[in-house]
A = this chain, B = another copy of it.
Amino acid sequence: MNEQSNKRKKLGQQPGAVIFTGERKVERVGIHYLEYNEHDCKEQELDNQSITAFHDPVEEFVQWYDVRGLHDTELIKEFGRVFSIHPLALEDIADTTQRPKLDEYPDGILITIRALHFDAKNPKMSYEHLAIYLGDGYVVSFQESGTDLFARVRDRITQMKGRIRRMEADYLAYALMDTIVDRYYLIIDDLELVIEGLEETILQNPDKEIKGEIHNLKQESLIARRSVSPLREVVSSFDRLGNGIVKDDTMVYIRDLRDHVAQVTELIETSRDMFNSLHDLYLSEISFRMNNVMQVLTIMSTIFIPLSFLTGLYGMNFQNMPELGWRNGYFLLLGLMGVMILVMLWFFRRKRWL
């Protein structure tokens, strides 16, 4: 929600300025380096100084630099220098408020994407800014925090699962995106579980907190929508690329990814309908309950108000009230009251209030 607050840091800066707009999520920026081809695979932790040494494209190898932590803008600029990345691309890498997009540059492609985190307990949606720079034979990925979102891809490389070791750098970039998109399914799954829980609660016992919760979740799902919907455009952009960095072999996988993105967007849109429906359900429930409450009140009042009037009547102190002297006056009145109660009950029954 405070996306804009962070954006504020950048206002008035010249375009292309590399400014970190997020909150520092890791102590020290780590660089994980991985170099592989079909036959071989080498893993290494780099420090800031050693990037330059590695910058030469290694023949027949795919190079993957995985940077964790974005607050060190100097390091980002260093990558910019070593791989000659365009200043605007560097700006987008460091800007954690950047919405997902794909930008093509002469030597590479920058993809920014958002990983979603959803805390179903609280419930609170947050996102993490990721940037994937795909060059010729190498990929540089930037993660905002230290939790390794790409662990499964790394495992598939090191353990030689699937075809990733036989494919090139563009497939690696695809695999990274695919991992993030796959995570969205989990988020939506959790979201729907929360919705189902709310439904239950509303129908059982709509309490004070639930209004706020529905409202909250609606806002949270807006965040998810904001993060996911631009992805559709990102994935379609692959078709219009002209610098030959993404090969035709990989395009069939990209098309598969597009399919997933479409499905996720649709699921998120559906969840919006679900929230509106939840609100409708809540209002129905409250109205229904109020109606019930009112019926109880009305039944009680309507039965006893005339009876009380009668007791009041014969509680008056007029000296000349013949009925009071009747021998069975009291019992006649009791009988009359009984009849009145029965008439009322029949009336309410007919109106289906009972």
Contacts and interface: CB of A to CB of B under 8 A. Distances in A.
Interface string A273-289: 11001111111111111
B156 A15 contact: no
Interface majority SS on A: helix, strand, loop or mixed? helix
Contacts of A214: 284
Contacts of A270: 222, 226
Interface in A193-225: 196, 199, 203, 205-206, 208, 211-212, 214-215, 218-219, 222
Contacts of A324: 316-319
A8 to B, nearest CB: 6
Nearest to A252: B88
Contact of A316 (B178, B326, B330): B330
A152 B305 CA distance: 69
Contacts of A230: 262
B308 A318 contact: no
A179 interface: yes
B325 A99 contact: no
A220 to B, nearest CB: 11
A53 interface: no
Contacts of A7: 185, 189
B318 A178 contact: no
Interface stretch (A77-85, A114-122, A127-135, A290-298): A290-298
B288 A286 contact: yes
A186 B329 contact: no
Nearest to A287: B286
Contact of A328 (B211, B300, B320, B326): B320
A280 B284 CA distance: 10
A280 B14 contact: no
Nearest to A188: B4
21 contacts: A7-B185, A11-B185, A14-B175, A15-B175, A16-B163, A88-B252, A88-B256, A199-B215, A215-B278, A215-B281, A222-B274, A226-B267, A283-B284, A290-B290, A290-B291, A292-B351, A294-B297, A296-B298, A300-B302, A304-B308, A309-B311
Contacts of A226: 266-267, 270
Interface in A52-93: 86, 88
Q: How extensive is the interface on chain A, given as a class? A: 35 or more
Nearest to A156: B14
Nearest to A298: B297
A338 to B, nearest CB: 12
A346 interface: no
B284 A284 contact: no
A305 to B, nearest CB: 5
A259 interface: yes
A315 interface: yes
A161 interface: yes
Contact of A182 (B11, B163, B295): B11
Contact of A309 (B255, B308, B352): B308
A259 B315 contact: no
Contacts of A283: 283-284, 287
A242 interface: no
Given A192-B4, A297-B302, A305-B301, A183 B11 contact: yes
A32 interface: no
Given A88-B253, A163-B16, A315-B317, A300 B293 contact: no
